[in-house]
Structure 1
Amino acid sequence: MIFSRKRADAERHTRDDQAVEVPDQGDAAPTLERGPYDISESYADVQRLDLGSLHIPAIAEVEVRVQADPQGVIQQVVLVHGDNALQLGVFAAPRSEGIWDEVREEIRQSLLSDGASAQEVDGEYGPELHAQVPTPDGPTNLRFVGVDGPRWMVRGVFQGPVAIDPAAAGPLVECLDGLVVDRGQEAKPVREPLPLRLPREISDQTDAEAGDAAAEPRQV
């Protein structure tokens, strides 16, 4: 299933070299100049696709591709722009500390054991992994980034030219910087994927189409 947002007037973020906190007035939460954001924080009010735990900015020319089960529970989210792609995941984390350092090392060890090369690099989101993975079609480059938030972690995997040239990310990085995470208040095991679901209108449409298909008479 593909959601395409091709809005010529889509609002875009101006991204600084590093995230900085801007002091706010009163009791309001501080405004962060780049995300991913927690839903409790202040962020730009732009159109976003609500997938439950992840709200993804609607950016011109970026397709949001999801794989969902028959109940509408999303198994995978991939953003695509041209030859580049960004796979997104969001996971529960403890209140006291982030988990990206530990997860990153586990990914590195897993890649090495599978015969891939993996190198830790200091990137725009902090420490990240650059990997080259053997495939039947030849080696594929991947770039793993992670962002720790309050009781959650967002993991992104860049594929395509952007995996070796972060400057090629274009609007994909705007999507990542504008993500909003709705963690919820319920307790969850650390590293458990946070629930993602199809928007209600899309889920209803899918159910209706499935019902129409089932109602069609069979030809014998």
Structure 2
Amino acid sequence: MGLFSRRRDEARAVDTDEETTPAGTDAAAGAGTGAASATGPWDAAAAPDTPRIDLGSLRVPAVDGMQMRLDQPREGGSPVALVLALGGSTLELRAFAAPRSDGIWEELRADITAELTRAHASLKVLQGPHGTELLAQVPVRSPEGDRSSVPARFIGVDGPRWFLRGVLQGRAATDDEAAAALREVFDDVVVVRDSQARPPREVLPLHVPGAAPAPVVENLPGLAPLEPGPTIAEVR
């Protein structure tokens, strides 16, 4: 689903601040929408100094038994999303460029709502730990042609010059107890916004683990969150 493609008539220009802003020198997450939070997701400048797996624009905590996959467009190119699997559910993470002063989650919720409505999904607006969330029942069709629906819970956090979207799938989308472990991971994610000028909604770059030791590569059977991806890893 192209839920985050940039509008062709985007009114806001590329973020082209005159001063040089090295990665990680912005204020803590939440600067675009109010006071900094006592928990994450974190901006790189405000994150606690704890070990995490470095994937470029995202740094995630290492959790025993958690599997990871980097997803990239079907036509190839750089990864655009990170999928984490834990406890039978998944969490998809995508980081986007955003304006320095304005959050984009409100307008993105409207776009998600419109697109999922066109796909005949049912939607509920809920309140979660980070504010407004969307719970969708997304229609799917099996290879045999059987129709059903799968739950997906959209979470959004506006940070300084970045936006982080999380999508919970599986039991975690509808069961708070099942979601607890993945929400804890979400709250400890660090977003690294580079100094490059980028238009709002541009995906921030991801790469395979480099700064941290690469986990062992294994298969992830039985899970197909969103799109298939090239890289699977389990944290041990």
TM-score, with normalisation over the residues of structure 2?
Answer: 0.68
Distance 1:143 1:68 in 2: 21
1:86 equivalent in alignment to 2:80: no
**1:195 corresponds to which letter in structure 2?**
P
Out of 31, 39, 45, the residue aligned to residue 34 of structure 1 is: 39
Out of 197, 201, 206, the residue aligned to residue 191 of structure 1 is: 201
* Gaps in structure 2 of 5+ consecutive residues: 1-29, 143-147, 218-236
Which digits, 9 at most, give the CA deviation of each residue in 1:57-91, with x for residues without a partner? 11122111223589983233100012110000000
1:50 equivalent in alignment to 2:54: yes
| Partner-residue secondary structure (3-state), 1:95 | coil
Distance 1:199 1:133, change over 3 A: same
1:99 equivalent in alignment to 2:133: no
Count of equivalent residues:
176
Distance 1:106 1:39, change over 3 A: same
Q: Which residue of 1 aligns with 2:166?
A: 156
Q: Which residue of 1 aligns with 2:19?
A: none
The structure where helix makes up a greater share of residues is: 1
Q: Which residue of 2 aligns with 1:25?
A: none
* Gaps in structure 1 of 5+ consecutive residues: 1-20, 22-29, 207-220
Runs of 4+ in structure 1 deviating by more than 4 angstroms, as ranges, are 68-72
Q: Which residue of 1 aligns with 2:81?
A: 76
Distance 2:193 2:78 in 1: 16
Distance 1:117 1:101 in 2: 19
Q: Which residue of 2 aligns with 1:133?
A: 138
The structure with more radius of gyration: 1
Q: Which residue of 1 aligns with 2:70?
A: 66
| Partner-residue secondary structure (3-state), 2:166 | strand
TM-score, with normalisation over the residues of structure 1?
Answer: 0.72
Distance 1:50 1:58, change over 3 A: same
Question: Does structure 2 conserve the Cα–Cα contact (< 8 Å) formed by 1:73 and 1:198?
Answer: no
**1:116 corresponds to which letter in structure 2?**
A
Distance 1:103 1:72, change over 3 A: closer
1:146 equivalent in alignment to 2:150: no
Question: Does structure 2 conserve the Cα–Cα contact (< 8 Å) formed by 1:59 and 1:174?
Answer: no
Q: Which residue of 1 aligns with 2:127?
A: 122
**1:94 corresponds to which letter in structure 2?**
P
Q: Which has the higher contact order (CA 8 A, sep 6+)?
A: 2
Distance 1:32 1:44 in 2: 13
Q: Give the percent of matched residue pairs that are identical in Structure 1 and Structure 2.
A: 42
Distance 2:197 2:181 in 1: 34
**1:74 corresponds to which letter in structure 2?**
P
Question: Does structure 2 conserve the Cα–Cα contact (< 8 Å) formed by 1:62 and 1:172?
Answer: no
